[in-house]
Amino acid sequence: MKVTAFSNNLFQLTRLVAFNCYLVREDDGFTLIDTNMSGQAQAIMQGARKLGFPITRILLTHAHVDHVGSLDALHDALPDVPVAISERDARFLTGDKSLDSSEPQVRLRGGYPVCQTKPTLLLHEGDRIGSLEVIATPGHTPGHIAFLDTRDRALIAGDAFQTQGGVAVSGTFELLFPLPALATWHKGLAEESARKLLALQPSVLAVGHGRMLSQPQVAMERAIRVMAETLAKAERKQSHVA
Ligand SMILES: [Zn+2]
């Protein structure tokens, strides 16, 4: 895997150009955020080893296959390392793909594989794990979460945004890399979550697909505008039909 350092605290591991996971440095080692596709456990551990620290926590932004693919293999290799995901997306890991009655009844998209690993910690808005604060960002999946590093405001945003093929809110169709759009559950919620992330004034935007972007405010604003226009257009079309 390709290793890209953003700072002494944040490293991006990339598989096949566009599939990322992250290592966040803490006093006791690395927090791994997401586990990439299947077959990447050894490469991820090797990446951490080369940077000189063990993996001491595994956090997941959401339960899609390209983020939890190597979870079971990593858990087998590192059985004492705690695993955390949002309480909502944890249900997907068990194969339960039901929606809550309080949620928009929209079809789930993207691959949600069943995992053997039982999370040791279920996360909610505002929780703190080491230096990271949990930000609830539903939309791409019902229980999607992002992580804000409170030391330097680095934002590990999962698939709430993408930078591959252009900076976009997940759910906006980017011809050069349409995967996140095709896998997004609810675009309206995704737009709300994107605004919430912008308001955090992150110093860097680190996403599941694409390069890390420093000082991302202007690009995030533009991406949110495009998403809002797309949604407004779709709504106009629908009211026309009705
Ligand atoms: Zn995803």
Across the range 75-99, mean pLDDT stands at 98
CA of 185 to the centre of ligand 1 (A): 9
CA of 178 to the centre of ligand 1 (A): 11
CA of 241 to the centre of ligand 1 (A): 31
CA of 166 to the centre of ligand 1 (A): 16
Q: What is the pLDDT of residue 236?
A: 87
Q: How many angstroms separate the CA atoms of 36 and 145, rounded?
A: 16
User: In which band, very low, low, confident or very high, does the pLDDT at 165 lie, cut at 50, 70 and 90?
Assistant: confident
What number of residues does the chain have? 242
CA of 24 to the centre of ligand 1 (A): 20
Q: What is the pLDDT of residue 173?
A: 78
pTM equals 0.95
Across the range 150-165, mean pLDDT stands at 96
Contact (CB, 8 A) for 181 and 109? no
Q: What is the pLDDT of residue 17?
A: 80
pLDDT at position 171 over 90: no
User: What proportion of the chain, given as a percentage, has pLDDT over 90?
Assistant: 87
Q: What is the pLDDT of residue 228?
A: 94
CA of 41 to the centre of ligand 1 (A): 19
CA of 193 to the centre of ligand 1 (A): 14
CA of 67 to the centre of ligand 1 (A): 7
CA of 242 to the centre of ligand 1 (A): 32
Identify the helix (H) or strand (E) that includes residue 207. strand 204-207
Reading the block at residue 164, the tokens are 């591959």
CA of 153 to the centre of ligand 1 (A): 22
Q: How many angstroms separate the CA atoms of 148 and 146, rounded?
A: 7
Reading the block at residue 15, the tokens are 């598989």
* Nearby residues for ligand 1 (ion, Cβ within 5 Å): 64, 159, 183
Say which range, 49-63, 179-193, 211-225, has the weakest mean pLDDT.
179-193
CA of 220 to the centre of ligand 1 (A): 18
> CA nearest 206: which of 71, 34, 89?
34
User: In which band, very low, low, confident or very high, does the pLDDT at 239 lie, cut at 50, 70 and 90?
Assistant: confident
CA of 54 to the centre of ligand 1 (A): 26
CA of 152 to the centre of ligand 1 (A): 25
CA of 162 to the centre of ligand 1 (A): 10
pLDDT in tens, 27-63: 999 999 999 999 999 999 999 999 999 999 999 999 9
pLDDT in tens, 115-135: 999 999 999 999 999 999 999
User: In which band, very low, low, confident or very high, does the pLDDT at 242 lie, cut at 50, 70 and 90?
Assistant: low
